[in-house]
Amino acid sequence: MSVKVRFAPSPTGLIHVGNVRIALMNWLFARREGGVFLLRVDDTDLERSTKAFEDQIVEDLHWLGLGFDERFNQSDRFDLYEAAREKLVATGFLYPCYETEDELDRKRKLQRAQGKPPVYDRAALNLTDADKAKFEAEGRKPHWRFKLSGGRIEWNDLVRGPSHIDTSSVSDPILIREDGSYLYTLPSVVDDLDAGITHVIRGEDHVTNSAAQIEIFEALGGKGSAPHMAHFPLLVGSDGEKLSKRIGGLSVKALREEEGMEAMAILSLLAKLGTSDPIEARADLASLASELDFSKVSRTPARFDFAEMERLNAKLLHEAAFDAVVARLRALGIKGDEAFWLAVRPNLSRLKDAADWWRLVEGPVAPVIEDADYAAKAAVLLPEGNLTRESWGAWTSAIKAETGRKGRDLFLPLRQALTGQNHGPEMDVLLPLIPRETVLARLAGKSI
């Protein structure tokens, strides 16, 4: 079988870590199997969908490295959905219902009061042509439901294992609203059939819909036409609560532009969350694809910990080669060379933090000098000529011999004078980056 999967976001908002996790699993599966990754833009909600959100979704996917092989918009395919509607009506699978929402709500409340599940009673199947004409004359417009078989639908879920749902326990799903607009289900099935989707990989919030969708697949495409399915447990916060309250801050755009996260930090975390694999930084998507194994996915919700992503982010930066980041450093206004990068990268949690350390080199720095006499003695003892990595050890040894200072009392005043900071990059690698005349000026208390 030639594998083909899809990621199907709605352009009604920004994609966030929950969306990305599903996109990533589809992408990794396609790459592992040598298959096709399709981007399907679910924009049938014409009022809420925007081109700006669609463009942002595409930009975010490319930034993450999740390029797609094919792409289409549902808004261009209404003729296919109409043809499917006509087929389902003609074959008796799709039937009109005229109950209002208030009437349906009263039915559900009565069923609950009687200890029954709130399943639609299919009263609309008993309507005569005269009944329908009467409702139409009253100005009512029907919504359309798919008639389920009432049988037991089984499938082997690639994550959850053998799964089943008795369709007698669920209501016939509404596929078309009173205003003629389509709910998610019918266009999704039509598109999956038309595109030849072989595997549907998504969140477990869709599990209860799977049986109905399998029956719709078979009503439109025949027995065995439904794709294989894999339902991943949903993400929760590190406290076990839903992420919905802070999901806006976990959009890809916010993580990139506001939080300064590396794409592979996000992907390394999301690929391993809720699995038996350790969460470790990976330098590329190829590694994650080779390690993908649905059998390692837990059935319990996956806990998303922002601090864990920050740890991975720092790890990736600490191992990044200068050539891999130089263009981004230049975009931040950092003119430093490889020596500068190697000096500061162990202290970075975000790449943008390198700009703070570049200011220590280029200035201006406001020196912190509590003992001017000590700073003056240090200036006199500064090694002659160009400063090298060995200069720091020679300099501090000379100062120690002259003043008797050692430890924190020896080193901290020098750091404060040269950087204005109490901590930062190792001074033996930072000192050679600062011009000798700048070192002397800062020891003299000059902001330079």
DSSP classification of residue 232: E
Which one of 151, 176, 201 terminates a domain?
176
Total domains, the chain:
4
Q: What is the CATH number of the domain that holds 304?
A: 3.40.50.620
Which are the contacts of 115, defined by CB distance < 8 A and separation ≥ 6?
Answer: none
> Other C-beta atoms within 10 Å of 172: how many?
23
Q: What's residue 416's pLDDT?
A: 97
Domain match, 312 and 326 both: no
| Pairing outcome for strands 235-237 and 302-304 | parallel
> What is d(CA 57, CA 66) in angstroms, rounded to the nearest whole number?
11
Residue ranges of the chain whose pLDDT lies below 70: 1, 244-248
Domain match, 339 and 291 both: no
Domain match, 92 and 149 both: yes
> What is d(CA 179, CA 215) in angstroms, rounded to the nearest whole number?
24
Q: What angle do CA 262, 268, 272 make, to 5 degrees?
A: 155
Domain match, 350 and 411 both: no
Q: What is the pLDDT of residues 23-73, one digit of tens each?
A: 999 999 999 999 999 999 999 999 999 999 999 999 999 999 999 999 999
Q: What is the pLDDT of residues 105-152, one digit of tens each?
A: 999 999 999 999 999 999 999 999 999 999 999 999 999 999 999 999
Which one of 330, 362, 394 terminates a domain?
362
Residue 259: inside a domain: yes
Q: What's residue 330's pLDDT?
A: 97
Whether 49 and 10 have beta carbons less than 8 Å apart is answered as yes
Domain match, 313 and 326 both: no
Q: What b-and-e string marks burial along 260-296, b requiring 16 or more CB atoms within 10 Å of the CB?
A: bbbbbbbbbbbbbbbbeeebebbeebeebbebbeeee
User: How is residue 101 written in tokens?
Assistant: 């929402």
Query: Would you list the DSSP string of 404-439?
Result: ---THHHHHHHHHHHHS-SS-S-HHHHGGGS-HHHH
Q: What is the CATH number of the domain that holds 127?
A: 3.90.800.10
Residue 196: inside a domain: no
Residue given tokens 């924190």 in the structure block: 408
Residue 138: inside a domain: yes
Residue 252: inside a domain: yes
Domain match, 86 and 171 both: yes
| Pairing outcome for strands 199-203 and 228-232 | parallel
Q: What's residue 131's pLDDT?
A: 97
Name the amino acid, one letter, at 397: S
Domain match, 62 and 142 both: no
Residue 186: inside a domain: no
Domain match, 1 and 67 both: yes
pTM given for the model: 0.91
Q: What angle do CA 200, 203, 208 make, to 5 degrees?
A: 85
Calculate the CA dihedral of residues 422, 427, 432, 438 and round it to 10 degrees: 30
Residue 215: inside a domain: no
Which are the contacts of 409, defined by CB distance < 8 A and separation ≥ 6?
Answer: none
Which one of 161, 176, 191 terminates a domain?
176
Q: What's residue 425's pLDDT?
A: 86
Whether 174 and 186 have beta carbons less than 8 Å apart is answered as no
Domain match, 302 and 343 both: no
Q: What's residue 241's pLDDT?
A: 77
Residue 417: inside a domain: yes
> What is d(CA 42, CA 8) in angstroms, rounded to the nearest whole number?
6
Average pLDDT of the residues of the chain: 95
Range of the domain at 107: 80-176
Residue 342: inside a domain: yes
Q: Which of 188, 177, 178, 180 is nearest to 213 (CA)?
A: 188
Domain match, 251 and 311 both: yes
Domain match, 104 and 160 both: yes
> What is d(CA 201, CA 19) in angstroms, rounded to the nearest whole number?
12
Q: What is the pLDDT of residues 358-386, one digit of tens each?
A: 999 999 999 999 999 999 999 999 999 99
